[in-house]
Amino acid sequence: MSIQPFEARSAEEIDRTFKAFSDNRPQALVILSDLLMVGQQRRLAEMALRANIPAMFGFREFADAGGLASYGTSLIGVTRRAASYVDKVLKGADPGDLPVEQPTKFELVINLKTAKALNLAVPDTLLATADEVIE
């Protein structure tokens, strides 16, 4: 297996980057989640499906938007935790005194609709370990 990194720093660059790696016919795609990618989640899922490339994401919301699978935390859960920190700071807490938290719950979400559209068979053992299967 070889890994080929691609980078996009704007919505326009996503199109160019997607074209560049689509020309290389990758067997799969892993999209790392940052603010730009989160804002483009549905579009990225649709682009991967159109290109017939299985795509894995870091937030469950990507699988909800049509990506093949995700393994990571919930974006909603992370946002709620961040809101609680903002609340504490606004109530006078010193940000330097607040503990750094790591996510404690990771979810595997598999989108079977997308798997079927990609003509992929998802092993029963993987489905059994999934936290959620979207049908």
Domain presence at residue 3: no
Q: Domain containing 39: what range?
A: 11-134
- Scanning 6-133, the segments in alpha helix (DSSP H) are 11-23, 35-39, 41-50, 60-64, 75-90, 112-117, 124-129
pLDDT range class, residue 22, cuts 50, 70, 90: low
Rounded mean pLDDT, 94-122: 93
Percent of all residues in the chain with a pLDDT value above 90, rounded to a whole number = 47
* Furthest-apart CA atoms within the chain: distance in Å: 54
pLDDT at 29 over 70: yes
Torsion of CA 133, 61, 42, 63, to 10 degrees: -20
Domain presence at residue 29: yes
Q: What is the CATH number of the domain that holds 97?
A: 3.40.50.2300
Rounded mean pLDDT, 53-70: 91
Domain presence at residue 5: no
State phi, psi for 68 to the nearest 5 degrees. Answer: -65, -45
List beta partners, residue 69: 56, 110
Q: Give the pairing type, strands 69-72 and 107-111.
A: antiparallel
pLDDT range class, residue 92, cuts 50, 70, 90: very high
Residue 27 identity (one-letter amino acid): Q
Number of domains within the chain? 1
Domain presence at residue 2: no
Higher pLDDT among residues 121 and 9, named by residue = 121
Look at the chain and count its residues.
135
Domain presence at residue 1: no
